[in-house]
Structure formats: structure tokens, C-alpha cells
Amino acid sequence: MRVLMFGWEFPPHIAGGLGTACYGLTRGLAKNDVQVTFVMPRAYGDEDQRFAKVLNASDVEALYGMDGEDGLLSQMTFIHINSNMVPYISPEEFERCGETIHKESVSQKEGLASRQKGDVWKERYTFSGKYGTNLMEEVARYAMVAAEVAREMEGQFDVIHAHDWLTYYAGIAAKRVSGKPLVVHIHATEFDRSGEHVNQSVYNIERAGMEAADRVIAVSNLTRNIVIERYGIPEEKVVTVHNAVRFGSSSAVETERGVKDKVVTFLGRITYQKGPDYFVEAAAKVLKRLPNVRFVMAGSGDMMNHIVRRVAKLGIADRFHFTGFLKGDDVQKMFSMSDVYIMPSVSEPFGISPLEAMKSNVPVIISKQSGVAEVLDYAVKVDYWDVDAMADAIYALIQYPALGKMFARKGLEEVTGLKWDNAAAKVKAVYESVIR
């Protein structure tokens, strides 16, 4: 079986769990005899291609102009807005990214204008592959490239797989050109990212992708219910396939801590969805009872300045550490130094990081409002808003070593069964159900 897959990021260049999930899934599919061609906006050449062929969309010449793609652009509502659509980057990174993208955009438009012939022309578009100021423009152009890729690969794939809303137009375009079935993968919805204050443009793209798809894969039953209830997608069309964790490398990483205090870690984007403010409030309560505890916030995001100010106001700055965004070996080092890992997400479609912590023998606390709570028994589960319960859980795991060791031991045994090979087998079954 051959799959044409569209994703926005792939390790080692990632901004969160999406890239990690795509990598784990492609590895699992390869072990289930599925060949994957993974198309991403911008590949850097250092991606692991042992399990999937990575295709750089920036290297593909595509037709531009209203007549060049059978009127595909006329089927889209294209809105150029100067905002960061997804809070994956810090304010400082956003400013740098915006300046770079502006320069690239000007250069590209000047080049296109000089080479344009009539109303239709063929040209390469250099994608940033990030979540910056011209994100919607990149989404639309990515769809143009997807159509060209599908045309050039005619007869070389059996099904199309698109990850998250950024690639849904690409999936739709590839389906129209090839006639092959489309599977869309929901790793997060706009309701997860923005609560009730959804960005209507993003919601419309998500809904269009789900409606055009032959099958929709949700990463949890929590997400599946949102897809059915909030997007009006028939329930028989939506399938749940839980994420997993990779056990390729050694879980144990020896790292010198440098402090004798207990370490409680939050690792994720510092944004509304991840609940960093509840982590801070719980930390303040714990420190009133246990002074020998340090709290680490590993990540970056639009709430960083707010969190720093709140930590200072609570008078716990000497017990708090901000590491910035971590990836690769740095994540494993952070887990090796942690005594407790906590994911207090307000809305988490799944949540791979608790599995990675458990793999590293660290007891975890997760919010009940997370998809991963559906598959874990040996994790302490609390409501994200209940900072008293969160503080009590942290206190108990630190103050009673036997309890922490039990959760760590049982958690490791439990997470060992959550492998990408098994998840990929379920995804392959979804492919088989839509291939005619």
C-alpha cells in the first residue's frame, strides 16, 4: 500500500507534538508494509528518511493563476491577515520570523511578476514552513503544490492522508486531481486551541477538510465527539486512533541535576490550551508546604510574559526555572532530572508528552480534559481548574516516595504497550476501508 501524506512539520524541525506524531506514525506504517511519501512545506535535508520519503514542497514547480489549476483557487476563500494564527512561537521568535517572511515574500512576488506570462505561470514557491504572518497564504499555495505533486505521482499512491488543518486544502486538491480517497487526521481542533473564541477562517478550513474526507481519524474519543458535535460530521465517518510513544532509543539518560531539591516539570507550549497558569497557581500552593521543590516550565508561547509576571507577583521566582523550547535529547535530559511531570491542559486532544515522561520512569499528573487520560490508568488525573487537587497530587508524589515509585513503575509497564506499530496497524485498516 502506498500513501501520499501531507504534514506541516517533521523531526528534527518541530514546534510541538504534531511533528512527533507524524514521525512515529510513519515509522509504524513502514513496519506495517505501508510506503509513505511525506510532503512538507519546507524540508531541510536532515530529516530521517529511513521510513518515509520526504518531499520538499519548496522544490516543486506549480501552476499559478486562475486557469492554471482548473479553478481550484476559485473554490477557496483566501484571506491574507497579519497575525500569528497558531500560538506556537514566542513574541521574540514571532518578530524575527515576521521580518524573514516579509523579505522572502517580497522577493518571491517580484520574481513571479518578472516571469509571469499571461494569466498562468509555473513557479516554485519557497515556504517558510513555520506559523508566521503569511500562514494563510502558505496554506493556499501549499494546496497548489499538492495538486501538482498528485498529478506528477499519478498511479504511485493509493490513498491521501492530511494532518491537521494546515494541510486540509492540500489534501482536497490532491483528491480532486487524482480521484484517490482522502483521510484527514485531527490532532487538534480550533476549539482546543482557542476555546469558544474560534478563528472562523481556521474552523471553516477544518470543516471543509472533514467534509471532503472519506474518513476522519481523531486522536481520542474526546476529539471524536468534538468533530461530530461541533463540526456536524457523521459519526460513522469518524474513527478514533490513539497516539503512542516510540521506544527506539534508551529511555534512561544520565544527567547531573546540580540541585538536591525535588523537580516538578511542565513541558509544552506556554499558551492557553496547555494551562500553564494553573501550573503556576498549584506551584505556589505546594511551596507553602514544601520549600525544597523547584518548578521547571520548559517551552515558549504567547503567555510567557504573563506567566513570568505572575511568578514574580506570587514571590516564587527563586523556585521557578524557564528553559525555553526543548526538543530531541534535551527533552530526555529534562525528564531524567524530573521527579514529577504535569500536564494541566485546558483542552488536550491527546498529549504525547506524558507517555514520554512515563517511558522515562517519571510519575505523571494529567488533566481529565485530555485524550491521553482515556488510555492511562497509572497517571494521577485532576481537573485542570482544580489547583488544590493539583497541588495535593504534587505534594503526595513528592512527600511519599513509595507512592511516586509505584506510579512510575506501573506507568512504565502501562506505556510499554502503547506503541506506534499498533496505532499504525489501525490507521492501515482505515486506509483499507476507503480504498475501492
pLDDT in tens, 61-88: 876 554 444 444 444 444 433 344 444 4
- CB of 5 within 8 A of CB of 34? no
What is the DSSP secondary-structure string of 69-111? TTTTGGGS-----SS-SS--S-HHHHHHHHHHHHHHHHHHHHH
Specify the pLDDT at position 246: 84
Residue 102 has pLDDT above 60, yes or no: no
Specify the pLDDT at position 24: 94
d(CA 204, CA 236): 21
Specify the pLDDT at position 69: 44
Give buried/exposed letters for 406-422 (b at 16+ CB in 10 A, else e): ebbeebbebbeebbbbe
Residue-range domain boundaries for the chain = 2-244+421-434, 262-415
Among 110, 105, 107, residue whose Cα is nearest residue 135:
105
Among 56, 87, 149, residue whose Cα is nearest residue 274:
87
By CB atoms closer than 10 A (0-12, 13-18, 19+), residue 225 is middle
Specify the pLDDT at position 70: 44
Homologous superfamily, domain 2-244+421-434: Glycogen Phosphorylase B; (3.40.50.2000)
Torsion angle in degrees (nearest 10) through CA of 228, 267, 384, 262: 150
- CB of 204 within 8 A of CB of 173? no
In tens, the pLDDT along 148-174 reads 999 999 999 999 999 999 999 999 999
Specify the pLDDT at position 63: 66
Residue 90 has pLDDT above 50, yes or no: no
Cα-based distances in Å from 407 to 73, 341, 348, 380, 393? 53, 12, 22, 8, 12
In tens, the pLDDT along 256-305 reads 777 889 999 999 999 989 999 999 999 999 999 999 999 999 999 999 99
Identity of residue 17? G
By CB atoms closer than 10 A (0-12, 13-18, 19+), residue 259 is exposed
Among 218, 123, 172, residue whose Cα is nearest residue 227:
218
Specify the pLDDT at position 121: 53
Specify the pLDDT at position 253: 58
Q: Please state the separation of Cα 189 from the chain's center in Å.
A: 11
d(CA 304, CA 282): 17
Residue 227 has pLDDT above 60, yes or no: yes
Among 38, 78, 64, 213, residue whose Cα is nearest residue 125:
64
Q: Which residue in this structure is represented by grid cell 499512491? A: 157
Pick the CATH number of 262-415 from 3.40.1180.10, 3.40.50.720, 1.10.10.10, 3.40.50.2000: 3.40.50.2000
